Chains A and B, each alone.
Chain A
Amino acid sequence: MLENYLPILVFIGIGVVIGAIAIAVGFLLGPHKPDSEKNSPYECGFEAFEDSRMKFDVRYYLVAILFIIFDLEIAFLFPWAIVLEDIGLFGFLAMVLFLGILVIGFIYEWKKGALEWE
């Protein structure tokens, strides 16, 4: 039973080694010019430690919603691409239809100015 898990162990080992190499190479070969900004934790453009009840620009939510839609689209496209041979023209057209509806949503958001930051 346990030998079935050997490939996973190998993967974990390789993952740890690659990660260690990447950090080690960066540490050994990279230039070192630390300053206070570089040493502070990075958090997507916000201050790391402040009141959590700050106001967010509503545009962040908009971007997040748009991101989720296209992210899900990709999640559908990958399995679809793998079985495309088996599902044939019917499967192909079904996805075209899905993408078509998505494009309509995209036209709507574009015209409404949801993609313009300023």
Chain B
Amino acid sequence: MAFVSQAVDRVFKMNVEMMGLQLLLPEIFVLTMACIVLVLDLFLHDRNRVVTYGLSQLTLFGALALVIALADGDSHTAMFGTYVADPMASLAKAFVMLVVFAVFLYSKDYLRQRDLFKGEYYVLGLFGVLGMMVMISAHSYLTLYLGLELLSLSLYAMVAFHRDSGVASEAAMKYFVLGALASGMLLYGMSLIYGITGSLNIAEVAASIGAMAELELALIFALSFVVLGLAFKLGAVPFHMWIPDVYHGAPTCVTLFIGSAPKIAAFAMAMRLLAESLGGVQADWGGMLAILAVLSLAVGNVIAIAQANLKRMLAYSTISHVGFLLLGILSGTVEGYASALFYAITYAIMAAAAFGMIILLSRTGFEADTLEDFKGLNARSPWHAFLMLLVMFSMAGVPPTVGFYAKLAVIQAVVGVDLLWLALVAVFFSIIGAFYYLRVVKLMYFDEPLDSQPLEYGTDMHVAISVNGLAILLLGLFPGALMSACMAAMGL
């Protein structure tokens, strides 16, 4: 009897310890489903591969439902304080699910046409999603690093997915080596902070820095490594060299994945690291981010003009958008953080649509990834030309698309902390950047098509890209709901 009561006691204690596990339900669900999909896919014949695709989409849908069901507007920690579920996490995760849903859908036909329709793409994608979720909800440096590595390792493998492609292998190698270097930098900074504050927990690090009578020089040293690692992962100049090669070399469906949802997760990582744990040294990292932001805006916008390859052009455009994202973060105010979150989410939606259009125009044995391929799109398909026009206008920041509102919110936040010169720099380079976006529009509407073959796409693709393109317009016309959700996520 004593043994039984002891066992019951133990189980009870275990339950107490495991309390908070219900907060992790979305992550647990995605992990379980990813494992199920992985094993199930082994036993599927190639012609039934669509089951893998369906289950992956179902997983995202289920995880989205769980994230929404668990969001209660409060902040809770779980797993001994290493995991946090707060409004920012819920919002970011929900949009990660939505964007990846679109990514998987766009990729299906592209993979099929290239004989790459394998379960591994979806399994790696799901593990990448899990990594993003862990990053977004990290409340300890270790959790953050774990999520980041899970995402990065999945992405390295996905870039190398097309085994026979030389450029893809080269891109994967560069991405892997530079990514590993960046992880090392980040980890070094984290370990120094651990040495200074004696904790890896984000709240405890923040409290420890807040209690310091005088800031230690070592802390600034550690901070610079953290910022450096972060800049590498975000692709801010001068740590941007991997972005063009990876975007260009990877299969378009993988570029689509890398270029969209991970930006939201990277924003969340920057928030957890800089704003939440190192908020006490905001003056120092604000200055570092200002340099990175100005350089990113300048280099990204100017070099993009010289690109003939659309994927490469969008890679440089990403770099310039990262500059805007950093502007929102460096302002250090709640409005700034909210505007940066808004920017990250809308950028992910725009990037999904932009790469989705490249996929839509491509077909078996033909990659529509140069500017030439978009010539005269209006004559071939006015509706798709219009969608691409919306995407380009939004990236350039032309009203009434959402890109305009996102840029406006960030600039307002920067002006709000009296950094007028930064706002002017941002506007100046946006005007330069408008040139290469509008050039695509000019090619589509005023040039003769080089390619007269009709576009090949499925109904699902057509519907999804239409919804995606119209979302850019609608969010621009009615930005209030998403903006107030972002404000609420930052506790305003």
User: Which residues B1-23 have CB closer than 8 A to chain A?
Assistant: 10-11, 13-14, 17-18
Q: Please name all residues of chain A whose beta carbon is closer than 8 Å to the beta carbon of B43 when the two chains form the complex.
A: 111
> Do the beta carbons of B39 and A90 come within 8 Å of each other?
no
> Do the beta carbons of A108 and B38 come within 8 Å of each other?
yes
* A90 with B35, Cβ < 8 A, contacts A107-B42, A108-B42 known: no
Encode contact with B along A76-109: 1 for CB under 8 Å, 0 otherwise. 0000000000001110010000000100100110
Residues of B in contact (CB 8 Å), total 11
Cα-based distance from A107 to B40 in the complex (angstroms): 11
Cα-based distance from A104 to B11 in the complex (angstroms): 27
Contact of A104 among B13, B14, B17, B38 (CB under 8 A): B38
User: Which residues B443-492 have CB closer than 8 A to chain A?
Assistant: none
Q: Please name all residues of chain B whose beta carbon is closer than 8 Å to the beta carbon of A90 when the two chains form the complex.
A: 13-14, 17-18
User: Which residues B71-95 have CB closer than 8 A to chain A?
Assistant: none
A112 within 8 A of partner (CB): yes
> Do the beta carbons of B42 and A89 come within 8 Å of each other?
no
Shortest distance between the CB of A8 and any CB in chain B (Å): 29
Cα-based distance from A106 to B11 in the complex (angstroms): 30
> Do the beta carbons of B42 and A111 come within 8 Å of each other?
yes
* A112 with B39, Cβ < 8 A, contacts A88-B10, A89-B14, A90-B14 known: no
- Nearest CB in chain B to that of A92: its residue: B14
- Nearest CB in chain B to that of A105: its residue: B38
Shortest distance between the CB of A84 and any CB in chain B (Å): 12
Q: Please name all residues of chain B whose beta carbon is closer than 8 Å to the beta carbon of A101 when the two chains form the complex.
A: 35
- Nearest CB in chain A to that of B42: its residue: A111
Q: Please name all residues of chain B whose beta carbon is closer than 8 Å to the beta carbon of A111 when the two chains form the complex.
A: 42-43
Cα-based distance from A60 to B240 in the complex (angstroms): 35
Cα-based distance from A88 to B11 in the complex (angstroms): 9
Q: Please name all residues of chain B whose beta carbon is closer than 8 Å to the beta carbon of A104 when the two chains form the complex.
A: 35, 38-39
Shortest distance between the CB of A10 and any CB in chain B (Å): 36
Cα-based distance from A93 to B42 in the complex (angstroms): 27
Cα-based distance from A112 to B41 in the complex (angstroms): 11
Task: Report 6 cross-chain contacts, Cβ distance below 8 Å, ordered by A residue.
Answer: A88-B10, A88-B13, A89-B10, A89-B11, A93-B14, A104-B35
List residues of chain B with CB under 8 Å of any chain A CB. 10-11, 13-14, 17-18, 35, 38-39, 42-43
* Minimum-distance CB pairs A-B, first 5: A111-B42, A90-B14, A104-B35, A89-B14, A90-B17
